[in-house]
């Protein structure tokens, strides 16, 4: 009894104390543009209670004592704001906060935000990028683009200047989930490989989840790239126009209904478009590049007059538009649409065209007196692709997806709970003629449904984040239970340990050939519904899904001010991979093969970021193997060694000069060597066939050792210098001179096995970009 009574009194006092507290919730915006400010600090004066805002500028403080509270809001690059806010017991107080810019450099701001994220988020296998990060690199063609920045990230492998393929920590492109404002994008990179479909100027954030991602994402077995765009300017009409030898672009944004600062309501629009015209400018500006790279294959069958008009074979167009409706309490609705096209034509070798178009609606609801916030997406996207190649039959692929998603989020004092539902409907079709003149085609419709929950809890120095996803594949009639886990230990203010992992699945299959050194065709289809057998046997598999298991472990360390070290090791077990049987010889042969894979690696990044310059070095050691028919071999993107060196420097009294350099070195990709040649006579008409004296097209005999050879090392140095002249507070002129492949390294792109003729990646290319903003 002596113990029970004091315990009940303590419990009663705690209840009374809690009942005398309320919740402070709000959003933090830039006073000039109305843009959300992510990772700003919100602190109760004379208290240890504080929190940072998320990427939407949202923050919430629970269990705040009732009464008048003095709250300080701060973020480097902005003036501190001090507010007096009346907190009412058992109520939620919503507060709009507008910060005014100061003169502190943005580079320092980015460092501060990174440190705050590191102390409050696990970030296992995760790198978050902003528009400013992307623009800090040397801009090829004078145009900063996320495709160029991704090549500088540890664990990311590119197929080169041409081809537009990104491989993330051992995963092929089909195994990476790419989202634009919640909508699936199936081919995010143009054929030239230097530019993506995403406009840098409208990017709010990019999350690259390279391994061990949690339960909110699924349907892919390797990685996730989540791109979110910002709303248009809420206070004034603004925009820019840009022109370079590579492309031209326009951006226009502004208020339809100006922002009301007292309640945060308003309507804005944003429109952007870019058009790639390198095929038209290169015959005049980069004639040497065309001569050395592409004419050798065209001269046999093309007249001299036609050759004069040939250029680098790339053309693309990207359009994006958004209308944003902002409501009270931070609620909002965004309606958006997009259209992306790409054309690639290499004379007498290949001609490819793809297009993506779609749209959707994203909404965020923040009921004032509810602890739960609701976020959702609905929309669709369609992808069409066609390819015609020399000496092979045509290929075509189409994919249409409809998506709907609903997330529920609840934030506590030391915890956060997120749960939701997701629905995806897929309609795929393809047709392909293999080397043995057999036509393989498939048309399918399927549905995927998923439910997930993720819980984050911080206690003392530990941050724990378990998650669980239940994914249902209707065409397979199968549930896939997928536990996930993330963990971080805050050893000290400057040193942290982290780990994570989970189980993953997907039903989407790529039509790309992993035996091709250069992959041009990026078609898709859903997994087969017929029986599949284990590699090299007649034993049926239990599941027709592709499956993987990840584990990641690493550390973050800031040994001294402005210097950081990051190390992560990872392993991805691709327990079951399914690929198209491209060498099917008879109609009775299986259409699909079952394979296995293993990706292992370690990534090390060193970064030093003072106010005026930025230096970073990233090294990756990795291996990626597949096993098919009991034969183990490296994949065509198995790059063992990768090294990135990045440098940027701001100079001038008002930092109007920006210098940048990026040097990338990568070991050679594997390929299957040629063993010999034969006359390819299919003997379809023996009476008319001259077996002894006839001349027939040459075929190739490949080595029994799959991918036993290695191409030469790929390396390239890019530099740029940018000058910004400010006309007034809003208007400016920006000039950028860029030099791609400074020392003119001849990196191989394509080699014809029969003629032994070689096409290289891009040679040294100078460019000048002019941008006018207002």
* pLDDT per residue as tens digits for the range 175-213: 999 999 999 999 999 988 889 999 999 999 999 999 999
- pTM, two decimal places: 0.89
| Percentage, residues of the chain above pLDDT 70 | 86
**End-to-end C-alpha distance for the chain, whole angstroms:** 75
Beta bridge partners of 399: 383, 428
- pLDDT over threshold 50, residue 469: yes
Task: Give the lowest-confidence range in 94-108, 188-202, 234-248, 473-487.
Answer: 94-108
Beta bridge partners of 340: 318, 356
Residues 292 and 715: their CA atoms lie apart, in Å, by 18
Pairing of strands 58-65, 674-679: unpaired
More confident residue, 274 or 591: 274
Assess whether pLDDT exceeds 60 at residue 339.
yes
Mean pLDDT along residues 699-713: 86
Residue 758 to residue 618: CA distance in whole angstroms = 31
142 phi/psi in degrees, rounded to 5: 80, 5
Q: Is residue 531's pLDDT more than 50? A: yes
User: 492: closest CA among 42, 115, 110?
Assistant: 115
Q: Which of 427, 428, 419, 421 is nearest to 471 (CA)?
A: 421
**CA distance linking residue 81 with residue 96, whole number of Å:** 12
pLDDT at 391 over 70: no
Q: What is the CA radius of gyration of the chain?
A: 28
**Residue 135 burial (CB count, 10 A):** 20
- Extract the tokens encoding 14: 């705690």
- Confidence band, pLDDT 50/70/90 cuts, at residue 700: confident
pLDDT tens per residue across span 287-328: 777 666 554 545 444 444 444 456 678 899 999 999 999 998
Q: Where are the alpha helices (DSSP H) in 440-560?
A: none
Which residues, other chains included, contact 690 with Cβ-Cβ below 8 Å and sequence gap of 6+?
A: none
Residue 684: per-residue pLDDT? 59
Length of the chain: 774
Is the pLDDT reported for residue 726 higher than 60?
yes
Weakest mean pLDDT among 159-173, 382-396, 675-689:
675-689
State whether residue 390 is helix, strand or coil. coil
- What confidence tens digit (pLDDT) does each residue in 84-126 have? 899 888 888 899 999 988 865 444 445 555 676 777 889 899 9
What does DSSP assign to residue 612? Answer: S
State the greatest distance between any 2 C-alpha atoms of the chain, in Å, as a whole number: 110
What is the percentage of the chain residues whose pLDDT exceeds 90? 49
Tokens of 633: 């071999």
Q: Does the pLDDT of residue 553 top 90, yes or no?
A: yes
Token pair recorded at residue 137: 């690199």
Tell me which residue of 448, 49, 457 sits closest to 219, measured CA to CA.
448
Dihedral sign computed on CA atoms, order 686, 692, 693, 696: positive
């Amino acid at each position: 009894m002596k113990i029970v009574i004091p315990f009940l009194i303590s419990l009663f006092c705690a209840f009374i104390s809690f009942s005398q507290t309320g919740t402070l919730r709000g959003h933090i915006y830039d006073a000039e543009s109305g843009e959300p400010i992510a990772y700003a600090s919100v602190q109760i004066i004379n208290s240890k209670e504080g929190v940072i805002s998320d990427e939407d500028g949202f923050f919430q403080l629970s269990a705040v004592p009732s009464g008048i509270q003095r709250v300080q809001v701060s973020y480097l690059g902005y003036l501190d704001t001090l507010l007096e806010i009346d907190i009412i017991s058992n109520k939620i107080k919503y507060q709009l906060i507008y910060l005014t810019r100061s003169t502190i450099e943005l580079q320092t701001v980015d460092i501060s935000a990174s440190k705050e994220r590191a102390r409050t988020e696990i970030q296992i296998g995760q790198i978050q990028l902003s528009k400013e990060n992307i623009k800090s690199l040397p801009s090829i063609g004078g145009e900063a683009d996320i495709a160029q920045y991704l090549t500088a990230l540890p664990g990311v492998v590119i197929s080169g200047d041409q081809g537009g393929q990104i491989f993330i920590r051992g995963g092929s492109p089909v195994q990476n989930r790419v989202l634009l404002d919640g909508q699936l994008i199936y081919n995010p990179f143009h054929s030239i490989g230097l530019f993506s479909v995403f406009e840098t100027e409208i990017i709010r954030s990019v999350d690259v989840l390279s391994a061990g991602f949690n339960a909110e994402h699924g349907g892919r077995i390797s990685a996730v790239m989540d791109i979110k765009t910002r709303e248009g300017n809420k206070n004034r009409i603004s925009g820019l126009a840009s022109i370079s030898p590579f492309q031209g672009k326009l951006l226009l944004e502004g208020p339809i209904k100006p922002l009301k600062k007292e309640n945060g309501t308003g309507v804005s629009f944003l429109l952007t478009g870019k058009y790639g015209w390198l095929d038209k400018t290169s015959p005049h500006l980069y004639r040497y590049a065309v001569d050395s790279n592409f004419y050798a294959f065209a001269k046999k069958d093309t007249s001299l007059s036609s050759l004069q008009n040939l250029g680098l074979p790339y053309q693309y167009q990207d359009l994006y538009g958004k209308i944003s409706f902002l409501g009270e309490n931070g609620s909002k609705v965004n309606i958006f649409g997009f259209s992306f096209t790409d054309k690639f034509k290499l004379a007498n070798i290949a001609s490819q065209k793809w297009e993506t178009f779609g749209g959707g609606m994203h909404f965020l609801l923040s009921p004032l007196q509810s602890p739960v916030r609701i976020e959702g997406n609905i929309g669709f996207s369609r992808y069409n692709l066609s390819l015609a190649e020399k000496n092979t039959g045509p290929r075509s692929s189409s994919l249409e997806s409809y998506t709907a998603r609903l997330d529920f989020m609840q934030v506590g004092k030391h915890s956060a709970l997120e749960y939701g539902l997701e629905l995806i409907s897929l309609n795929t079709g393809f047709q392909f003629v293999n080397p043995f003149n057999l036509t393989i085609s498939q048309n399918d419709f399927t549905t995927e449904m998923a439910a997930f929950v993720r819980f984050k809890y911080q206690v003392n120095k530990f941050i724990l984040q378990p998650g669980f996803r239940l994914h249902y594949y209707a065409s397979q009639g199968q549930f896939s239970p997928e536990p996930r886990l993330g963990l971080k230990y805050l050893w000290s203010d400057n040193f942290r340990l982290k780990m994570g992992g989970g189980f993953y699945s997907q039903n989407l299959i790529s039509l790309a050939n992993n035996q091709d050194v250069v992959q041009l065709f990026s078609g898709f289809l859903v997994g087969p519904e017929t029986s599949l057998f284990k590699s090299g046997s007649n034993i049926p598999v239990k599941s027709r899904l592709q499956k993987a298991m990840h584990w990641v472990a690493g550390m973050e360390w800031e040994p001294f001010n402005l210097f950081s070290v990051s190390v992560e090791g990872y392993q991805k077990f691709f327990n079951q991979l399914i690929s198209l049987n491209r060498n099917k010889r008879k109609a009775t042969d299986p259409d699909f093969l079952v394979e296995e894979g293993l990706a292992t690696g370690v990534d090390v990044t060193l970064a030093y970021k003072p106010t005026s310059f930025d230096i970073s070095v990233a090294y990756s050691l990795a291996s990626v193997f597949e096993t098919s028919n009991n034969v183990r071999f490296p994949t065509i993107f198995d790059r063992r060694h990768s090294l990135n060196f990045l440098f940027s420097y701001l100079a001038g009294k008002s930092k109007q000069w920006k210098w940048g350099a990026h040097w990338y070195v990568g070991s050679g990709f594997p390929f299957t060597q040629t063993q010999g040649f034969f006359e390819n006579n299919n003997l379809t008409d023996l009476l008319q066939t001259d077996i002894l004296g006839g001349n027939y097209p040459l075929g190739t005999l490949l080595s029994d050792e799959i991918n036993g050879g290695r191409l030469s090392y790929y390396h390239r140095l890019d530099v740029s210098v940018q000058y910004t002249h400010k006309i007034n507070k809003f208007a400016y002129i920006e000039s950028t001179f860029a030099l791609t492949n400074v020392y003119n390294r001849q990196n191989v792109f394509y080699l014809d096995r029969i003629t032994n003729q070689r096409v290289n990646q891009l040679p040294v290319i100078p460019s000048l970009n002019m941008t006018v903003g207002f």
